[in-house]
Structure 1
Amino acid sequence: MRVERLGRDKIRVFLTFDDLVERGIEKEDMWRDIPRVHELFNDMMEQAYEELGFEVSGPVAVEVFALPAQGMVVVVTRGRPKDHEWMDDQDEELYELEVTLEESDQVVFQFDDLEAIVQAAHRTLPMTESGMGRVYMYEGRYYLALDNECGTSAFDDFIAVLSEYGQTTTTTEAVLIEYGTTVFAEDGLVNLVRYFPA
C-alpha cells in the first residue's frame, strides 16, 4: 500500500492485488458495504495519518480505479468538517462514504524523466508485436497510455517490467490530450526506441 497527497483535502492510495488478497478482498468487494472493506479503509486512513498527517471525519468521497495487472487506485476526498466537529471530543470518527468505481482496460504510466521512459521502451518493446501506446508530456513528466493489446498474462508481465521504471497514475489520457503535449500519438514504444537508440 502506498499513500500520497494530492492536495489539502485529497489523497491517493495505491493498492496492489497482494494488499487485497492479504485481507481476503476481491476486486468486486470494493463497492460492497462489508466489514473487510471497512477495515481496509481504516487501514488506509491510519497509514495516511501516520505518513501524511491526513485526518478525516464526516463525509468522504472515495473513487476506486481498477487498473489492469496493477491493482487499484483509491482517491479519497474529505468534506469540510463543521466547526462543532473539531470541538466535540465525544463523537467517534464516522465516515460517510460515497464510493464510485471505474474499471478500464487502459492503463497510464507516469515516468519522472525522458531517460526512464526510453529505458522502459527498450525493455518492453520486444515483449509485444505491436508498437503499443501513446506518449505524452504533462507538467514536466512523461506518460505512456496503453490498451491491453497483448492478452492478459502477457500484459501482466509487460506491466511488471514497466513498473520498474515508472508508476501507474490516475491521470487520464483525456487530461493528457487536453492539457499535455502529445509526443507520439501512436506506436509510442516503437518511436521511443527509433528516436532514442540505446
Structure 2
Amino acid sequence: MKIERINDNTVKFFITYVDIEKRGFARDEIWYNRERGEQLFWQMMDEAHEREDISFDGPLWIQVQAFEKGLEVTVTIAKNVIGAEDDSELGSLLRSAIDEARDQQSVLDQLSELDEETEQEAWAPLAMETDDFEAIISLSKRAGETLSNVDLKLFHYDQKYYLWIDFPEEMEPEEEENVLSLLAEYLTFSTQTLAMLEEYGKLILDGDVFAKVRHYF
C-alpha cells in the first residue's frame, strides 16, 4: 500500500486489489459487506499511523475512488470545521464513499469487458496543448527516441503551443495508447483542428519535433 501525505490534514492511500486480497479480504466484500469494508479501512489507517506517525484525531472526510488495479482513498482530518461529521457518523460516511466507488468500479468492469470483446481501433490524428514551453522541453527529454516514427508538428497560436500528432498506420493501438499516456503527463488534449492551426497558427517545428527541441534547447 502506498501512503502519501498531502498536507497536515490530508492523507492519500493507494492499495491494489492484489494487496487487498493478501490482507484476507475478497474483492466483493469491500463493496457489499459493510463490516468488512470498515475493517479494511481501519487496517489502512492503523498502518498509516505506524509507518508515517499520522494521527487521525477528530472528524474525518473520506473519498474513495476506484481504478482498474485498485483503490485510492483520501482522508481529510476536519479540524475546527463547523458542520464536519462526528465520529458517530463515520460509518455512514465511509459506507457512502464505498458505495460511490463501487459504482465507479462497476463502470470500469463494463468498459474492460467491452475492450475484450471489441478490437482496438487506431487513434485519429489529434492536437495536444500547453501554455508553457518548458513542458515541451521536459517532454522532449523524457520521450527520447520513442516518438521518432510519429508524425509531429509544433504550432504556436493564441499564446499556446499545440502539438499535432499523427500516428503511422503500422503502429499498434496499444503502442499509440502508451504514447498518448506519456504525452498526457505534460500536455492536455485540445479540440483544435490541423486546418485551424495551419491557417491561423505559426508552425515552429515539423517532423521529428522532440529531436529538434533537444538540439536547440
**TM-score with structure 2 length normalisation?**
0.45
- The structure having more radius of gyration, on CA atoms, is 2
- Which has the larger share of helix? 2
Greater RCO, CA 8 A, separation 6+: 1
